[in-house]
């Protein structure tokens, strides 16, 4: 038995729809600019997917409300289809996620060619709904996000530049992708600011919707 200096942190996990089992999260990979129109609004044309990551414990699960982050004047929402990798290395489940982004820190990092960790990988930056095990949602399914009931993002999964399986294949060229890895697959156009107490509702096709309120600090 290991003699820990202090108790190890709990394993972050997601609930699974219709099951008492939980999905243990190992890490979170994210794809940038994977919807044509969002890539254009960010000033890019179709290109190879690129990745960034968030720590596993950035996950906010079980409909918990993330605390509004420090160090930003421009927090943005990005609704995303999330893929969950299983023990056979394939995608075994799907969820609705929100890639919370400190857009001001990201802009500063881009300008200076610096890493995105502080812009993307901060605490509680990955609210995620319950996993649905099984096959990919209908490619024609809608992906949408509202803030206080107002539609901000609305797109379709078939607007994705790279499909989930293509993204997984690309990720495998860079990492030993394993069970417990979540992949955020990019966001459609319409990203925008969130303020303390804003209520966010997001859905992708028939997956379990994601709902949370930005908890004031």
Binding site for Mn ion (CB under 5 A): 78, 99, 187
Q: Which is nearer to Mn ion, 72 or 187 (CB)?
A: 187
Minimum distance, C-beta of residue 163 to Mn ion, in the bound complex (Å): 16
Rounded to 5 degrees, what are φ and ψ at 65?
-100, 120
Closest CA to 106 of 52, 60, 160, 143: 52
- Order of strands, edge to edge, in the sheet holding 142-147? 150-156, 142-147, 199-204, 210-213
Q: Which is nearer to Mn ion, 16 or 25 (CB)?
A: 25
Q: Which is nearer to Mn ion, 16 or 59 (CB)?
A: 59
Residue 147 · residue 77 · CB < 8 Å: yes
Task: Give the bridge partners for 191, in sequence order.
Answer: none
Minimum distance, C-beta of residue 208 to Mn ion, in the bound complex (Å): 20
Minimum distance, C-beta of residue 176 to Mn ion, in the bound complex (Å): 23
Q: Which is nearer to Mn ion, 15 or 76 (CB)?
A: 76
CB atoms within 10 A of CB 2: 5
What is the longest distance spanned by two Cα atoms in the chain? 54
d(C-alpha 79, C-alpha 184), whole Å: 9
Closest CA to 53 of 125, 107, 159: 125
Minimum distance, C-beta of residue 82 to Mn ion, in the bound complex (Å): 11
Q: Which is nearer to Mn ion, 125 or 187 (CB)?
A: 187
Residue 151: both structure tokens together: 């539609």
Point out the residue whose Cβ comes nearest to Mn ion: 99
Q: Which is nearer to Mn ion, 16 or 39 (CB)?
A: 39
Minimum distance, C-beta of residue 101 to Mn ion, in the bound complex (Å): 7
Pairing of strands 142-147, 150-156: antiparallel
d(C-alpha 154, C-alpha 146), whole Å: 9
Minimum distance, C-beta of residue 162 to Mn ion, in the bound complex (Å): 13
């Amino acid at each position: 038995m290991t003699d820990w200096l202090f108790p190890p942190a709990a394993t972050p996990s997601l609930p699974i729809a219709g099951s008492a089992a939980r999905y243990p999260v190992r890490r979170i990979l994210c794809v940038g600019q994977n919807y044509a129109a969002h890539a254009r609004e960010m000033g890019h044309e179709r290109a190879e997917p690129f990745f960034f990551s968030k720590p596993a414990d950035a996950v906010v699960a079980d409909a918990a409300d993330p605390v509004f982050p420090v160090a930003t004047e421009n927090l943005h929402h990005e609704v995303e289809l999330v893929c969950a990798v299983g023990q056979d290395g394939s995608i075994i489940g799907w969820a609705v996620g929100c890639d919370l982004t400190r857009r001001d820190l990201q802009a500063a990092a881009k300008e200076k060619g610096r890493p995105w960790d502080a812009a993307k990988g901060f605490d509680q930056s990955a609210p995620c709904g319950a996993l649905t095990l099984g096959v990919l949602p209908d490619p024609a399914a809608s992906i949408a996000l509202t803030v206080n009931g107002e539609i901000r993002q609305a797109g379709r999964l078939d607007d994705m530049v790279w499909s989930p399986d293509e993204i997984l294949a690309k990720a495998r060229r860079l990492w030993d992708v394993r069970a417990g890895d979540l992949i955020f697959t990019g966001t459609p156009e319409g990203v925008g600011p969130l303020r303390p107490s804003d209520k966010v509702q997001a859905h992708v096709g028939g997956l379990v919707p994601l709902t949370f309120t930005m908890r004031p600090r």
